[in-house]
Amino acid sequence: MTLYGTALLAVCHLLGILLGELLGRALGVPANVGGVGIAMLLLISARLYGHHRGWLDVKSEEGVNYWGALYIPVVVAMAMTQNVVAALRGGPMAVTAAVLTVALCACCIAFINRLEPAAGDAPSPAQE
Amino acid sequence: MGNVIEKLAKDNGLIIAFAVIGLVVLASGFISRKLTFGRIQGSAIAILIGLALAYVGGQMTGGSKGLADLTFFSGLALMGGNMLRDFAIVATAFEVQPTEARRAGWIGALALCIGTVLPFFIGVVVAYAFGYRDAVSLTTIGAGAVTYIVGPVTGAAIGASSDVMALSIAIGVIKAILVMVSTPALAGFMRLRTPRSAMVFGGLAGTVSGVSAGLAATDRTLVPYGALVATFHTGLGCLLGPSLLYFIVRAIV
């Protein structure tokens, strides 16, 4: 049943958030530490285990895949609710700090990703 | 008539949001195919339109939730809020190839550490250049450059003034929006095309909102890998900001 998939997703989500919250408490941080990431790992494990044991059928998977497919619409809705006005009013210092951060992080990402060994897929055009 | 529509909107917020987003995504797909000949992804255009509408909404109402501050569009706050966003992100984990994720685990963790320390450092340097000299303000502004949640959490923990906290939130929000907008354009330069590269991106680019929207606008299949790492970003920042990073700044100033 499709709902089983969504329920599995919901249980993983809640458990992950709960564990992230407890991890935050344990570390003395007033924030959720990786709750969503933990939930993702739980769901990946549940899928592997479910396939292995044979209780996760195609119909149930639909209940998860539907929410994965809603991801982009949800992100568009998120963009529509950003406080863009306040961001643009942040002044030269906020803009300078943000632009420099994004630019330097992009350079860092470019550097690390150029070290990636071209493993079979898409041959890299240049060897740096 | 006006009353009827107002009541309809009030009682069906989320449903209206689905319809509105559907229209925007449809229009974006059309623009992508007909005007840019597929060169710019439909989802990238949809996010840009979304940000533009958020600006319009913010200007009209003076609120902080973009278009969602207008009654008719209030359902967008639920649809685009943290709960459904995180739920959809977790759902994408179903597409993760565990072997890919495991192979890139350590480099993702490394990227996460650099992605916390480097933005913090830049934030502190910029704050110093703009005349801030006390350790508390420098740390809070630096933390804002990590994510817009780390900034105020750190500021509150070490007792920063409210205008410095507001500034740190502004830096974080601008950073998130910049990541959303610039990722598709910089994807080639950043070599963003494999699960491993998406995990590096997730660790370094920070903020879940920036990373999730940036990857959605670039390549939907990379989303779960980037998000998997990025979701640890705020937690790590909140852990290091008011402690280790603050002590380092205080020792130097």
Written as one string, the DSSP assignment of B71-113 is GGGTHHHHHTSHHHHHHHHHHHGGG--HHHHHHTHHHHHHHHH
Q: Give pLDDT tens digits for B79-101.
A: 988 899 889 988 988 888 787 77
Residue B89 lies in a domain: no
Shared domain check, B104 and B164: yes
Residue B86 lies in a domain: no
Q: In angstroms, rounded to a whole number, what is the distance separating the alpha carbons of residues B144 and B166?
A: 9
In chain A, which among 51-70 make CB contacts under 8 A with chain B?
61, 64-68, 70
Q: In angstroms, rounded to a whole number, what is the distance separating the alpha carbons of residues B14 and A53?
A: 37
Shared domain check, B223 and B168: yes
Evaluate whether B124 touches B249 at the Cβ level (below 8 Å): yes
Judge whether residue A128 has pLDDT over 60. Answer: no
Q: In angstroms, rounded to a whole number, what is the distance separating the alpha carbons of residues A38 and B68?
A: 30
Check residue B135 and give its pLDDT: 87
Residue B92 lies in a domain: no
Shared domain check, B145 and B222: yes
Q: In angstroms, rounded to a whole number, what is the distance separating the alpha carbons of residues B44 and A60?
A: 31
**Tokens 């497919």 map to which residue?**
A69
**Domain containing B229: what range?**
98-252
Shared domain check, B163 and B127: yes
Q: Give the distance from residue B186's alpha carbon to the nearest chain A alpha carbon, in angstroms.
A: 8
Q: Considering CB atoms only, which of B80, B111, B208 is closest to A74? A: B80
Shared domain check, B217 and B113: yes
Residue B34 lies in a domain: yes
Q: Considering CB atoms only, which of A44, A75, A76 is closest to B96? A: A44
Q: Which residues from A are below 8 Å from B21, CB to CB?
A: 73, 76-77, 80
Q: In angstroms, rounded to a whole number, what is the distance separating the alpha carbons of residues B65 and B62?
A: 9
Shared domain check, B163 and B68: no
Residue B65 lies in a domain: yes
Residue B74 lies in a domain: yes
Shared domain check, B104 and B30: no
Q: Considering CB atoms only, which of B87, B101, B235 is closest to A31? A: B235
Q: Give the distance from residue A4's alpha carbon to the nearest chain B alpha carbon, in angstroms.
A: 13
Say if the Cβ atoms of B126 and A99 lie within 8 Å: no
Residue B90 lies in a domain: no
The total number of structural domains in chain B stands at 2
Q: Could you read off the pLDDT tens digit of each residue along chain B, which spans 253 residues? A: 778 888 888 889 999 999 999 999 999 989 988 887 777 778 878 888 988 999 999 999 988 888 999 988 999 999 988 899 889 988 988 888 787 777 777 888 888 889 899 999 999 999 999 888 888 889 999 998 998 888 877 887 788 877 788 888 888 888 888 888 888 888 888 888 888 888 899 889 877 888 888 888 888 888 888 888 888 877 788 778 787 888 888 888 7
Q: Which residues from B are below 8 Å from A81, CB to CB?
A: 54, 65-68, 76-77, 80-81
Shared domain check, B231 and B122: yes
Question: Which residue, B54, B80, B106, sits at the end of a domain?
Answer: B80
Tell which of B90, B113, B178 to mutate to test the A interface (max A CBs under 10 Å). Answer: B90
Q: In angstroms, rounded to a whole number, what is the distance separating the alpha carbons of residues B41 and B32?
A: 6
Shared domain check, B52 and B156: no
Shared domain check, B248 and B195: yes
Shared domain check, B19 and B113: no
Q: Considering CB atoms only, which of B98, B213, B238 is closest to A79? A: B213
Residue B128 lies in a domain: yes
Judge whether residue A6 has pLDDT over 90. Answer: yes
